[in-house]
Amino acid sequence: MKFNDVIQAGDWKGEKHVPVIEAPDSVDKEESVSIEVSVGKEIPHPNTTEHHIRWIALYFKPDSGKFAYEVARLEFNSHGEAVAGANEGPLYTEPKGTVTMKAKESGTLMAMSYCNIHGLWENSRQLKVK
């Protein structure tokens, strides 16, 4: 078995598990760019003790290279857990974050998210560097 066998994809507008990557289509070389990654933008994903997004990882694969580089990993660790029981806690983290990076060349931004019930999901988008 390989990761390709278990990673799922889809259109984030119709599937609540797919990570959304929001970034400009193009940036100047080595310009700081803010990239927002999230899950549940169009269709909210549950955020309960029993069903939640645990993490989102963001990668960048330069067009000229073979390998992707991990840019950031965002972990969401509070989902309503408490001594009083499931969903009784005072805190719920939302599966959303912003990462700032600089790129020297064009490439592909890739995000992967993990749902504790429905596994791994992926999405990607191009980033052109001028």
For residue 122, indicate whether it is catalytic: no
Q: Please tell me which residue in 45, 52, 79, 122 is annotated as part of the active site.
A: 45
For residue 22, indicate whether it is catalytic: no
For residue 15, indicate whether it is catalytic: yes
In our burial notation (b when 16+ CB lie closer than 10 A, e otherwise), range 82-108 reads eeeeeeeeeeebebbbebebebeebbe
For residue 79, indicate whether it is catalytic: no
For residue 52, indicate whether it is catalytic: no
**Alpha carbon 15 to chain centroid, angstroms:** 14
For residue 115, indicate whether it is catalytic: yes
CB 109 within 8 A of CB 35: yes
Q: Please tell me which residue in 17, 41, 52, 79 is annotated as part of the active site.
A: 17
Q: Please tell me which residue in 13, 51, 102, 128 is annotated as part of the active site.
A: 51
Q: Classify 11 as helix, strand or coil.
A: coil
Q: Please tell me which residue in 13, 15, 61, 75 is annotated as part of the active site.
A: 15
For residue 118, indicate whether it is catalytic: yes
Q: Please tell me which residue in 41, 52, 79, 115 is annotated as part of the active site.
A: 115
User: Which residues are annotated as catalytic?
Assistant: 15-17, 45, 51, 115, 118
